[in-house]
Amino acid sequence: MPTYQRQRVSGIVVLALVLMWLDSHAPWLQSVRYMTGYVLAPAQQMALVPSALGNWFGESSASRQELTSENKQLIARNLVLELRAQRLAALEAENIELRELLSASEQVDDRVLVTAVVAVDPDPFSQQILINKGGEDGVFIGQPVLDAYGLLGQVIDVMPYSARVLMIADSNHAIPVQVNRNGVRAIAVGTGALDELELIYVPNTADIVKGDLLVSSGLGGRYPRGYPVATVNKVENIPGKSFAAVTAEPSAHLDRSRHLLLVFSHGSGQVPPGDLWQSQE
């Protein structure tokens, strides 16, 4: 190290020692040091700016991430709660349907077996459904099927654990009916629409009016007598025609009933194995 550098270092060391001694033994230097703080404060604050900015950005980023994560959790929780609410609504509706079905079964004089719809024929020109009871449960071809509100159709195909049902609204289906008010007989045929049946060959003079309840007449031996089929919603006498145009709305909820009743008439000779929903002797 050159001589002038050694002298400078030595001078700085000596000056530092002198200042330290004066600081500890000369009280008047405290006021000088205090006043010096005013001069050095801006520099100290500027020196702290990078650290403060770093902390602020870090906290902002962490807060944003926490808020984003919390928002996602709240959205997911809200979806779960909405799904549970919808499920509860569905269970409540199903419970109401089962209570109505129980009430309907108590009014049926024949043996009945509860079944459920598992599939619907996608063909728009065919009104058929698949149920979860079959030959092993005693189901047979031609067996009447009801829901809580009226006749829904009949079994047309039986498999061991399922069966196909042709609903009364199918265009290939016909059922003998009679007006509950006066006993006037007619034939109700399906139109292919779930909300409409047509009465054929009804004379213009027949005593049938809007609002009449149509029930199964029991003729033909396929359906038991006295079950609700439809309610007349239109009667039109066409001039020059021998027959009136009569339409009716099915009593059964063809488009939404999930639980159904399979009817075992006393005279059919068919008895289902196992437990019945209702069995009256």
Domain boundaries of the chain, sorted by first residue: 1-106, 111-268
Place of tokens 């007349």: 232
**Residue 164 corresponds to which amino acid?**
R
Q: Are 147 and 115 in contact (CB under 8 A)?
A: no
Tell me the pLDDT of the chain averaged across its residues.
80
Q: Across residues 57-78, what is the average pLDDT?
A: 73
**Residue 100 corresponds to which amino acid?**
E
Question: Alpha-carbon distance 250 to 213, whole Å?
Answer: 10
Place of tokens 């619907």: 120
Q: Are 214 and 178 in contact (CB under 8 A)?
A: yes
Give 236's pLDDT tier (boundaries 50, 70, 90): very high
Question: Alpha-carbon distance 146 to 260, whole Å?
Answer: 6
Shortest CA distance to 263 belongs to which of 131, 128, 127? 131
Q: Are 152 and 254 in contact (CB under 8 A)?
A: yes
**Residue 18 corresponds to which amino acid?**
V
Q: Would you state the pLDDT for residue 232?
A: 96
- The larger pLDDT score, comparing residue 26 to residue 2, is at 2
- The larger pLDDT score, comparing residue 271 to residue 146, is at 146
The span from the first CA to the last CA of the chain, in angstroms, equals 124
Asked if pLDDT for residue 207 goes beyond 90, the answer is: yes
Distances (CA, A) of 70 to 39, 80, 81, 242: 47, 15, 16, 75
Place of tokens 């029991």: 218
Among the residue ranges 57-61, 131-135, 175-179, 245-249, the one predicted with the least confidence is 57-61
Shortest CA distance to 199 belongs to which of 52, 210, 280? 210
Distances (CA, A) of 37 to 21, 25, 50, 52: 20, 20, 21, 21
**Helix 28-106 crosses helix 3-25 at what angle (to 10 degrees)?**
80
The CATH number of 111-268 is 2.40.10.340
Question: Alpha-carbon distance 54 to 115, whole Å?
Answer: 69
Positive or negative, the CA dihedral 101, 197, 214, 226 is: negative
